Amino acid sequence: MVATVPIDTAAMVLKERALPGHIFTLGLLSLMTKAYLLGWFPPYVCVYSSCQWPILFYIVYKGFKQRKSLYYFFELCWVINFVGWAAMFYEMLTVTGHVQPFLSDSLRNRLGYGFFVVTNGPLAASIIMNSNTLVLHDVVKTSGVFIHWNPALVSFALRWRVIWTQGGSWSPFDQHGGFFASLSQAQHEPKHLGDAILLYLAWFIPYGIWLLTKGVHVSGCRSSFLDVNKRLATLFSLPPSALRKQGVAYLLVHFLANTSTFIIASFFYDYFFLHAAWIVLLLVIATYLGGQYYEFTYGGKRAIKRLRQEFVRGGKED
């Protein structure tokens, strides 16, 4: 005898799998726009991405609030995005002549290098570590790619735009030494990983204090610590009740893993092809994982699983 599912139940399951076409269209057009700007108007990639940021944050905030995941906003990647896009907005006002530089050329250039290393190191590597997926129909799910990959893309456009322009002016984006004083004499000053480490520590120290005093005891809201604390307890042979020790272990692993990527990211600053390969590799990985997600979620596998669940539940009710 062939098992069957009522047509209304099947329709309900298929409706759950429906794809919002307008969201997909906007997502695809956004990627095409970035590709166009990257090829023809590199400085405008940061302008476009900065305009996207508040819209994306609002959508993700609503999604995180619904899922009780607001503590994710305390993590390095989100904080660097908050601070980074704010700094980028001020730099846009600076290079267009609307405001005076907030810092000296030397400090602006050091800050820019710090952002470059952090965004191309731990943030970009998080695409691999977190298995971020490019899913154009789901803004919240794709937000992982935006906060981890987009800053690296913007840094790529600003770092190597001279190759496209061949030294020509991109007025009005050349006032006050360009973005982060990259066109001033400060660009010739030695670059130090210490600037990236200081930027990282500016987040790490207050976050560590919060985590050890409050964060480890939070149970009603998801956080990166809660995502991995059980595995850390097993790895370091810590009892489940030793939450503060688990927090220390989390901070130790976080510090070592993230600062180790600084060394790799520093090479991207000096070698165009390495940096380009890194950006493309991350996009390929996110796209591939997104394809796997589409195949599972919308390609039939999850629909079949849901239909079976409904059939079993319907059989029990009968």
Residue 163 and residue 63: Cα distance in Å, rounded? 40
Q: 3-class DSSP state for residue 304?
A: helix
The answer as to whether 10 is a domain residue is no
pLDDT of residue 277: 96
200 in a structural domain: yes
- Least-confidence region, from 68-72, 145-149, 162-166, 192-196: 162-166
CA angle 261, 118, 139 (to 5 degrees): 105
Short-list 23, 43, 72, CA closest to 221: 72
The predicted structure's pLDDT at residue 292: 81
Q: What is the CA radius of gyration of the chain?
A: 23
For the chain, the residue count is: 318
Write the Ramachandran bin of 116: left for phi over 0, alpha for psi from -120 to 50, otherwise beta.
alpha
Owning domain of residue 80: 20-311
pLDDT in the model for residue 200: 97
Confidence class for position 1, pLDDT limits 50, 70, 90: very low
Torsion from C-alpha of 57, 128, 113, 75, nearest 10 degrees: 50
- Residues 99-119 have a mean pLDDT of 95
Q: Which residues are CB-neighbours of 297 under 8 A, at least 6 positions away?
A: 17
DSSP character for 178? S
- HSE at residue 75, side-chain half, CA atoms within 13 A, is 22
* Calpha distance 33→27 (Å, rounded): 10
Q: What is the pLDDT of residues 3-48, one digit of tens each?
A: 555 666 666 666 666 667 777 788 788 888 888 888 788 878 888 9
Using one digit for the tens of pLDDT, what is the confidence trace for 68-81? 999 999 999 999 99
Residue 4 lies in a domain: no
Contact yes or no for 177/186 (Cβ under 8 A)? yes
Which residue blocks in the chain are alpha helix, DSSP H? 7-16, 21-40, 43-66, 76-95, 105-118, 124-129, 139-159, 161-165, 193-213, 224-235, 243-270, 272-297, 301-317
14 within some domain:
no
Give the whole-number percent of the chain exceeding pLDDT 70: 83
Q: Is 308 or 286 the better-scoring residue by pLDDT? A: 286
Residue 11 is assigned to a structural domain of this protein: no
Cα 48 from chain centroid (whole Å): 16
In angstroms, how far is CA 245 from the centroid of its own chain?
Answer: 28
**Range in 16-20, 38-42, 183-187, 222-226 with the lowest mean pLDDT:** 16-20
The mean pLDDT value for 176-187 works out to 88
Kindly state whether residue 2 falls inside one of the protein's structural domains: no
**316 pLDDT exceeds 70?**
no
Q: What is the average per-residue pLDDT within 201-211?
A: 97
Q: Say whether 191 sits in a helix, a strand or coil.
A: coil
Q: Does some domain include residue 12?
A: no
* Confidence band, pLDDT 50/70/90 cuts, at residue 201: very high
Give the range among 67-81, 141-155, 161-175 with minimum mean pLDDT: 161-175
pTM for the predicted model, two decimal places = 0.86
7 belongs to a structural domain: no
Number of folded domains that form the chain: 1
